[in-house]
Chain A
């Protein structure tokens, strides 16, 4: 295979993975899983941007978009999971404490 074709194939693999991650994040009903997938999406996005010669933006996206945004969402997902858990456990015992 010639080099441009190889590069094109590489690009297509990069982008397909990106779209697959986004689709998985969007379709996942379970909060923690969705957030994990979103973080993976953000990190992959920054990888793609590095490929497009945008290292500054890639760094920022990895650190702020995926990293901090993900951490914030993860905390919220954990809280949601805990609330759901408490909802089911309430009947049996006040076990959440």
Chain B
């Protein structure tokens, strides 16, 4: 990259860069020591159980059995709503930048066969994960991640859409989480319970409703993020520029 004539100069520049990064390393090591000391103080500050006891004590009223799920979809449900919005924003940002690049070469029969049973397994596990999240480790995020993983595998196996439906449907799936969350929250507010304040009797079912919507939205969003572009209108007709930009020569298997 560098021309021979520039070598002397670039050597000096490189040396300077190394000095700078060393200096930074020393300074940041100092920062690290300070942070460690401060963290030690903070740990011993006497706040000890923090929110643990209170959060655990309220679990029976939250409508779910798993304390982490209780925090996510009940005590701090509002955070989760905004977080779904973040995920949506990322996908919209990605879509605004480019059409979906072409996928990988269609995989060999063996791999395709494997995909054909791994993917349903992932989807079933995702459903199980969602259900079990009520009282054991799991929940909407893990379930959504599994759905997203299924999409990644499908795309790696050669389907450029990652198994996602067409754009119009995909858009609804993407916003399903935010929409359901906000609508349930607002409905509760209009009924007088307060925004995202679940009545104890309905809590379990409302949470399941929201979590199911969130799972689908998260799965769709993660798969769409992996596709990395706006879904093309019909089938896949990547533009000439795109096709030459990313030849489909790389696949899961060895290069031809």
Q: Which residues of A contact B (CB under 8 A)?
A: 55-57, 59-60, 63-64, 67-68, 71-72, 75, 78-79, 82, 96-97
- A interface: dominant SS: helix
Question: In angstroms, how far is the closest chain A Cβ from the Cβ of B214?
Answer: 13
**A62: nearest chain-B partner, CB-CB:** B145
Given that A78-B250, A97-B247 are contacting pairs, would A71 and B226 also be in contact in the complex, using a CB cutoff of 8 Å?
A: yes
Q: Mark B111-142, 1 if CB is under 8 A from A, else 0.
A: 00000000000000000000000000111011
Task: Give B residues with C-beta under 8 Å from A.
Answer: 66, 68-69, 137-139, 141-142, 145-146, 148-149, 152, 222, 225-226, 228, 244, 246-247, 249-250
Complexed CA–CA distance, A59 and B138 (Å): 8
Query: Chain B: which residue is nearest A96 at the CB level?
Result: B247
10 more A-B residue pairs beyond the given contacts A68-B145, A72-B225, A82-B246, with a C-beta to C-beta distance below 8 A: A56-B137, A56-B138, A59-B145, A60-B141, A60-B142, A63-B146, A67-B149, A71-B152, A75-B226, A82-B250
Tally inter-chain residue pairs, CB-CB below 8 A.
Answer: 49
B138 adjacent to A68 (CB under 8 Å): no
C-alpha spacing A36/B77, complex, angstroms:
34
Q: With A56-B138, A56-B139 as known contacts, state yes or no: A63 contacts B250, CB within 8 Å.
A: no
By the criterion CB–CB under 8 Å, are A79 and B142 in contact? no
